[in-house]
Structure 1
Amino acid sequence: MESTKILVQGIVQGVGFRPFVYRVATELKLKGYVRNLGNVVEIVLQGEKKNIEQFLYDLENKKPPISKINSIKTQCLKNNDKYDEFKIYESLDNFSGASVIPPDLAICDNCLKEIRDPNNRRYHHPFNACTDCGPRFTVIENLPYDRDKTTMDDFPLCDKCEKEYKDPLNRRYHAEAMCCPDCGPKLSLFDKDDNDLNSKHPLHDTVKLLDEGNILSIKGIGGTHLVCKVTDEDVVNRLRKRLGRKSQPFAVMSPDIETSLTFTEISQKEKITLKSKERPIVVLKKSKDYYFADSVAPNLHTIGVMLPYSPLHNLLFDFSDEPAYIMTSANVPGEPMMISNEEILGNLKGISDYSLIHNRRIVNRCDDSVVRYRNDFLSFIRRSRGYTPEPYDLKGKVLNKNVLALGPELDVTFTIVKNNLAYVSQHIGNTNKYKTYLFLQDAIKNMMNITKTNDFDIIACDMHPQFFTTKLAKELSEKYNAELVQVQHHHAHGVALANDNDIDEMIVIASDGVGYGSDGTAWGGEILYTDIESFERLGSLMPQKMPGGDLCAKYPVRMLASILDSCESFSRDEVIKLLKESYVDYFPHGDMEIETLFKQLDSNLNVGITSSTGRVLDSISTALNICGERNFEGEAAMKLESAAIPAKGEYNIPLRFKKLNKRIVLDTGNILKNVIDLIKDGVEKSEIAYAGQVAVSEGLSKIAVDAASEKGVKYIGATGGTFYNELISLTTKNYIEKSGFEFIQHKNSCAGDGSVSLGQAIVAAYKKK
């Protein structure tokens, strides 16, 4: 007889792992125990050697479906302790390593069947859950992951549920979020004046109110949605007016794949992702039979769709015949999604007509994740609910120190690195908004708590001196006596991409709206070489003046004017004449603003310098009269992509390159000049939109290929928000692969700013090796 201790680390808490261990050990006639130790599962086995070996095989190959094992450590025990049976012991909180808490997961098939079975005691129960599904991250307060350390502790189990909870052979054994209608949270329906309607059937009444054209705030698992019909133009425009959200597309929730196919096109991979346990929003192409109100996703060829992921959502559609509902985060633009009942009832006055809330507390708010398939390849736009806080395994690449990285300023996440695991937070948002800045700090405390992190050796942040995240990083570096490391924005982008593909050296095409450059200018169309630790800028788009600074992002016509003014083919008078004849309406102050703009350019007063791809795409969009004012991030470029969909690709814009400060730059003035010429020639708008995007893509790709050849590097990667664009991604991929290089894309991280904190953390830790 032998005795063995096993320590299992990974997603092994809250997923039915201990009852699984109990069943396997019992079947193999092994004795001993299993218990949680804060962040690992400890197993002690006593029995025949062959049975212990079989147990270890089953542990890896028959584990619960939503568990994930990162490491298994075994130790032969030589003590004389004897065990009479195999038991599940109470958890202990005495381990200090890295912990892995599972994310919130969509309702499983078994729980879904129960809420639809009139003979089941959980029939129509909107909070049904078991070890295979339900909230985890959003309800946890501390480790080890037991019910008394979650907000479900507010709901003592009834006798029937307690029996299930304590039965190792039941799928609800230590399912911390489990409950039933007798002992679980309760729904309440309120009107706009905060009056409790005392509804006996809150879900039925909610659906009735929605179908009558009302806007409701509905509290879910990790936050709150604003919900309304998708087929009524008046209702959608009313929501837009109340939110002050002029044109940003709304995501929708549809009951199933079959219904979603009535208004979208869905590939096989997209179907799998829509139905996955993570249930992200998937950006899909609208079908030719698309019939929603135009204002749901205006002037775009795509729409974000998700399937119901909670029992509550499924029941909404069980009671409704609607093909979908708008489900957009309930927040004031730029601020965090609301999670407390006080916030929902108090701060959404004038926005929602009614509120469906419940009395379960949300500890960690967590927005919906968003993904898109480009050329049949998955791309994360937002990695949050369903994925957070599952860590990235850095596989020993960085120094084994505690690191906190705070990200940039927009679309912020933060990252904690501990024991070579990188925990990237849920979506935080725009930290120049005070409430979001407070949310960031609160979320850091919560993540430190559940990862058992008490201090940091390194604090990493962006190089921009004015970012609130930079200021916070300096404060935290003093608080923890930690070294402060500032990481260039696009270098961080590239390193997150390299980590995704497990490589250490590459040429990076970093293409986005803006990132603070190491020369103090605004970068955004860069060709970099990186070996993780450092980077070298080898090429870029032509730097252009930004008259009025950030006003150029809000009103892209200002950027168009500046780029055309830089073009040798146009005189100043020709540019002014063109602007006054064709684009004067895009200037809020008309002719007078045009004159002032050129005085700015000549005096260099409040004039920035940028090599941003985003500003070039915005300028093309404005030149084609597609978008003259940005109301949300990336609007002009997104609408430019949609405008190019009908194109056949019949026109090519010649590329011109120059040398500037020892690097090659793509002449974007020449691209805009050709766009204007094609407009004057009467070429179809879609063809010009297509040609402009291809020109930018191929220009950057050529610089990258030449740089890779010179450096002797075989990998060329693409990162930055521009690469959510399918045409640009495909053009870049084709050019690079035809040139004989391997093209690298993001796999499990965001091309946009959502993964900058991950890159910062890796660079900061790597530099200290």
Structure 2
Amino acid sequence: MSTQAQPSGHRPTVTQPVGEEIRVRGLVQGVGFRPTVWRLAHACGVVGDVRNDSDGVLIHAWGDAWTIERFIRSLSAECPPLARIDAIERHELTETADVSDFRIVASVAGHVQTAVTPDAVICAACAAEIADPANRRYRYPFTNCTHCGPRLSIVEAIPYDRANTTMAAFAMCDACRAEYDDPGDRRFHAQPVACPVCGPRVWLESRDGERADADDPCRAASLLLRHGSIVAIKGLGGFQLACDACDETAVARLRRLKRRERKPFALMARDLQAVRRYGTAGETECALLHSAGGPIVILRADGAERVAASVAPGVGTLGFMLPSTPLHRLLMESIDTALVMTSGNTSEEPPCIDNADARARLGRIADVFLMHDRDIARRVDDSVTRVVLGETRMLRRARGYAPAPLLLPDGFAATPAVLAMGGELKNTFCLTRNAQAIVSHHIGDLEDALTYADYRRSVMQYLRLFEHEPHAIAVDFHPEYLSRKIGCNLAQAWQIPVVEVQHHHAHLAACMAENGVALDAPPMLGVALDGLGLGDDGTLWGGEFMLADYRGFTRLGLFKPVAMPGGTRAIDEPWRNAYAHLHAAFDWAGFTRQYAGLDIERFLSSRPRAVLDTMIAQRVNSPLASSAGRLFDAVAATLGVCRERVLYEGQAAVELEALVDMGALRDERDACAYQFEITSTVPHGLRCIEPWPMWEALLDDLRSGTPVPVIAARFHKGLAIAIVRMVEGLADLLAEPVDARSVALSGGVFQNRVLFEQVAGRLGVAGFRVLTHRQVPANDGGLALGQAVVAGAQRRLA
């Protein structure tokens, strides 16, 4: 039944008494929803009760018809800040009320259908309390209420009650119990509620395990940070490593000890004023920094002050967040510069969440530990966002956002429950049922043994937490993906079907799903650009133009396939891609005759070219790949960017993007951009983006001394123009019932802001409806959602 607000008018003089059972679905547990219902019922004069159960919140309400309508309108109008109402269902009650007031009654267990709320940043009321010397929670690092604090990171079962969290070990004192039991208090049934008398404690200890004699551990840690120490901090969803971001010695030492040679560090600042000393934050970025999710926000590094050069080498941006917990707020109180606040791990391992594990793994890195005794139920990384074309784009979805369910489009209510295993890199997994998708928090790269173990553990935790019983398991095509192997083993054990989903089809399906494209919508155009994914023909794809719906796809176009000499070594050593692309565009004799003396020619001449030529000619460990990511690597290496090796995924493309001369990008005529040819392949007749004209123009510019930033701008713009030309040409070939005027953009390459803005903007000008990612990452962090909806659509037909 619809709950749209009706004109209020005046209360009728005579009304008929009614009773209704009101079901509220969405993020409505652990967020202060029941006390809000209680308060509104009393204000409206409604009698009855409200409870949590496995479907959400259930209300029994009696009153006259006008009062009930007013009450239901107020539920949406005065929803608590962390709540999200997805549906309100109303059914008439024939029995009369047997109560004379409105009560909150005990939760009811059952098959879980409701959602777990994400962890939330400290609210203004709690922040005021920890800053007030007269308050009993003054400087208490675990202060929280129903409007903020830990959720996913401490919950172990549903319903979300204290006994099902890691706070079960801390018995409430009388004062906290009184708040917890009072429906009029903002801490009513706030499951992590605590105070210095009864709650968790924080302390400072040395790397040798000795506790420091510090009356205020947070103040002591702040002092150490200001004097160059590296501090391991037990945060909300795992340990973090912190140091003074303006102290080059401290940052360089952290890089060396953490074995993170170049990948940018995340930063934390005390407040927005401090952030703006280092970078530009517009209105949307400011709102993100202050939001309940409190993500890392990528900003232009163009402030009046500079952090240490080692914080984010080779890029023109900084990733900032504000203090997310009371502990972080107290730590930052006396620090007026920025802190590095990076994950508490080494290399690509998952961050530590256990005290003993942190001592063992971080003891050689941290000078001191800021510890506490509240257990972390599961690792939850910081989310990462970037504002592009005026909208928030999720680069990593974790703390503050996961596992809030995503509502699936029309048609998916009838699809079976699916467990989708995700990809190999930037892994997430996904559970779907009842037209909702629960995308897990960011897991990471499964090539690391500890991350792989964490992945397996997290999958089983989510299945238990949400009492999810999949009817099918979705996996990637690639036979060596560890996520696929686990999925196939689970499917065999549970005797349920496996649905294989092609990598780039999953990318596009995820984009369509989060943009509300109905299951039965006609196929639309899609562009999926990334590093690599296995195609349905057994070759490596990565620059794909498709006609796709949820059930299937047709490949219409591609980037020219080019060899990857050395296979996976070509991913780590961009010069190999440069050699292969130049080999494909010119023979070596022609290249040296035309471009002898260029730096790239001298460099490649020193490499084992005969071996590489044999590998390419005979396809020995040298697969062809239509990869946009490898094209970026090749251009970067040719220009001297990350030529010999990359130190993190996508580094060459990231640093190439950072070099772009924005003036040239904006002001130069399109004719100055490097041209690509669009051809047809044989024998399949697919349209193909051929880069040889781009290479000729780029090398001519290098030879004539054109600045590298201008070359980078011309490459990005030229590629965007070629992509739009390809889409326009394909659209002209299509007819009804195909949706030829809508195009979905997905894949990690579209996290390149310059390319994305150029492509999306030009497609919009050309009259296309452009679908893009906002809620889930365009990178492989969104794959699981796409796999899940494809499997659901296909199994609905089975």
| Contact 1:708/1:716 (<8 A) preserved | no
- 2:491 matched residue in structure 1: 477
Q: Cα distance, 1:97 vs. partner? A: 4.9
**What is the SS of the residue equivalent to 2:192?**
coil
- 2:632 matched residue in structure 1: 617
2:397 is aligned with 1:383: yes
Alpha-carbon separation, structure 1, partners of 2:123 and 2:75? 22
Alpha-carbon separation, structure 2, partners of 1:325 and 1:90? 44
- 2:10 matched residue in structure 1: none
2:227 is aligned with 1:227: no
| Contact 2:170/2:200 (<8 A) preserved | yes
Alpha-carbon separation, structure 2, partners of 1:513 and 1:260? 33
- Name the stretch that deviates more: 1-10 or 753-762: 1-10
Q: Cα distance, 1:594 vs. partner? A: 3.3
Of the candidates 732, 735, 739, which is equivalent to residue 762 of structure 2? 735
- 2:533 matched residue in structure 1: 515
Which letter maps to 1:701? V
Which letter maps to 2:324? Y
Q: Cα distance, 1:450 vs. partner? A: 2.5
2:746 is aligned with 1:719: yes
Q: Cα distance, 1:585 vs. partner? A: 8.7
| Contact 1:372/1:724 (<8 A) preserved | no
- Name the stretch that deviates more: 373-382 or 303-312: 373-382
- 1:334 matched residue in structure 2: 348
Q: Cα distance, 1:668 vs. partner? A: 2.0
**What is the SS of the residue equivalent to 2:159?**
coil
| Contact 1:647/1:686 (<8 A) preserved | no
Of the candidates 442, 457, 476, which is equivalent to residue 471 of structure 2? 457
Q: Cα distance, 1:198 vs. partner? A: 3.9
**What are the Cα deviations for residues 634-659 of structure 1, in whole angstroms up to 9, with x where unaligned?**
10001111111354144321221221
**What is the SS of the residue equivalent to 1:74?**
strand
Of the candidates 701, 706, 709, which is equivalent to residue 683 of structure 1? 706
Alpha-carbon separation, structure 2, partners of 1:579 and 1:603? 27
Of the candidates 245, 249, 256, which is equivalent to residue 241 of structure 1? 256
Q: Cα distance, 1:407 vs. partner? A: 0.6
- 1:177 matched residue in structure 2: 192
2:333 is aligned with 1:318: yes
Alpha-carbon separation, structure 2, partners of 1:296 and 1:139? 31
- Name the stretch that deviates more: 439-448 or 77-86: 77-86
Q: Cα distance, 1:396 vs. partner? A: 4.0
Q: 1:574-653 counterparts in 2 under 5 A?
A: 574-575=591-592, 582-583=599-600, 591=606, 593-628=608-643, 629-649=645-665, 650=668, 651-653=672-674
**What is the SS of the residue equivalent to 2:20?**
strand
- 1:415 matched residue in structure 2: 430
Q: 1:438-453 counterparts in 2 under 5 A?
A: 438-453=453-468
**What are the Cα deviations for residues 615-634 of structure 1, in whole angstroms up to 9, with x where unaligned?**
11111111111221210011
**What are the Cα deviations for residues 121-147 of structure 1, in whole angstroms up to 9, with x where unaligned?**
111011110010001111111111111
Q: Cα distance, 1:575 vs. partner? A: 4.9
| Contact 2:294/2:324 (<8 A) preserved | yes
**What are the Cα deviations for residues 342-378 of structure 1, in whole angstroms up to 9, with x where unaligned?**
1111111211111111110111211000011123232
- 1:657 matched residue in structure 2: 678
- 2:421 matched residue in structure 1: 406
**What is the SS of the residue equivalent to 2:623?**
strand
Alpha-carbon separation, structure 1, partners of 2:590 and 2:514? 50
Which letter maps to 1:58? S
Which letter maps to 1:92? V
- 1:541 matched residue in structure 2: 559
Alpha-carbon separation, structure 2, partners of 1:375 and 1:355? 41
- 1:18 matched residue in structure 2: 34
2:108 is aligned with 1:92: yes
**What are the Cα deviations for residues 87-129 of structure 1, in whole angstroms up to 9, with x where unaligned?**
11111102x2521111101111000000001111111011110
**What are the Cα deviations for residues 656-713 of structure 1, in whole angstroms up to 9, with x where unaligned?**
1221121111112332232112101111111101111222222122111211222241
- 2:4 matched residue in structure 1: none
**What is the SS of the residue equivalent to 2:447?**
coil
**What are the Cα deviations for residues 454-484 of structure 1, in whole angstroms up to 9, with x where unaligned?**
x210100110000001101101111222110
* Structure 1: gaps of 5 or more residues: none
Of the candidates 684, 692, 707, which is equivalent to residue 669 of structure 1? 692
Q: CA, structure 1 residues 243+576, in 2 after alignment: closer, same or farther (shift >3 Å)?
A: farther
- 1:62 matched residue in structure 2: 78
| Contact 2:28/2:84 (<8 A) preserved | yes
Q: 1:487-498 counterparts in 2 under 5 A?
A: 487-498=501-512
Alpha-carbon separation, structure 1, partners of 2:280 and 2:768? 32
Alpha-carbon separation, structure 2, partners of 1:502 and 1:607? 40
| Contact 2:415/2:795 (<8 A) preserved | no
- Name the stretch that deviates more: 429-438 or 463-472: 429-438
2:141 is aligned with 1:126: yes
**What are the Cα deviations for residues 483-515 of structure 1, in whole angstroms up to 9, with x where unaligned?**
100101111110111112222432111111111
Alpha-carbon separation, structure 2, partners of 1:228 and 1:571? 49
- 1:293 matched residue in structure 2: 308
- Name the stretch that deviates more: 685-694 or 664-673: 664-673
Q: CA, structure 1 residues 502+395, in 2 after alignment: closer, same or farther (shift >3 Å)?
A: closer
- 1:526 matched residue in structure 2: 544
Which letter maps to 2:617? D
Alpha-carbon separation, structure 1, partners of 2:490 and 2:103? 44
- 2:90 matched residue in structure 1: 74
| Contact 2:54/2:113 (<8 A) preserved | no
| Contact 1:617/1:693 (<8 A) preserved | no
**What is the SS of the residue equivalent to 1:226?**
strand
Alpha-carbon separation, structure 1, partners of 2:193 and 2:508? 42
**What is the SS of the residue equivalent to 1:768?**
helix
**What are the Cα deviations for residues 355-413 of structure 1, in whole angstroms up to 9, with x where unaligned?**
11111011121100001112323211001110111111114432332100011100000
How many residues align structurally? 763
Matched residues, percent identical? 33
Which letter maps to 2:729? D
- 2:584 matched residue in structure 1: 566
2:46 is aligned with 1:30: yes
- Name the stretch that deviates more: 230-239 or 421-430: 230-239
| Contact 1:39/1:143 (<8 A) preserved | no
Q: CA, structure 1 residues 39+196, in 2 after alignment: closer, same or farther (shift >3 Å)?
A: farther
**What are the Cα deviations for residues 185-240 of structure 1, in whole angstroms up to 9, with x where unaligned?**
11121212222224322111111111111111101111111100111111111111
Which letter maps to 1:82? D
| Contact 1:576/1:594 (<8 A) preserved | no
Q: 1:417-436 counterparts in 2 under 5 A?
A: 417-436=432-451
- 2:8 matched residue in structure 1: none
Which letter maps to 2:525? I
> What TM-score, normalized to structure 2?
0.93
Q: CA, structure 1 residues 404+514, in 2 after alignment: closer, same or farther (shift >3 Å)?
A: same
Alpha-carbon separation, structure 2, partners of 1:234 and 1:332? 19
- Name the stretch that deviates more: 376-385 or 486-495: 376-385
Of the candidates 207, 222, 237, which is equivalent to residue 222 of structure 2? 207
Which letter maps to 1:388? A
**What are the Cα deviations for residues 531-581 of structure 1, in whole angstroms up to 9, with x where unaligned?**
22111111111000111011111111111101111114x444635996996
* Structure 2: gaps of 5 or more residues: 1-16
**What is the SS of the residue equivalent to 2:21?**
strand
**What is the SS of the residue equivalent to 2:233?**
strand
Q: CA, structure 1 residues 320+594, in 2 after alignment: closer, same or farther (shift >3 Å)?
A: same
2:301 is aligned with 1:283: no
- 2:206 matched residue in structure 1: 191
- Name the stretch that deviates more: 75-84 or 470-479: 75-84
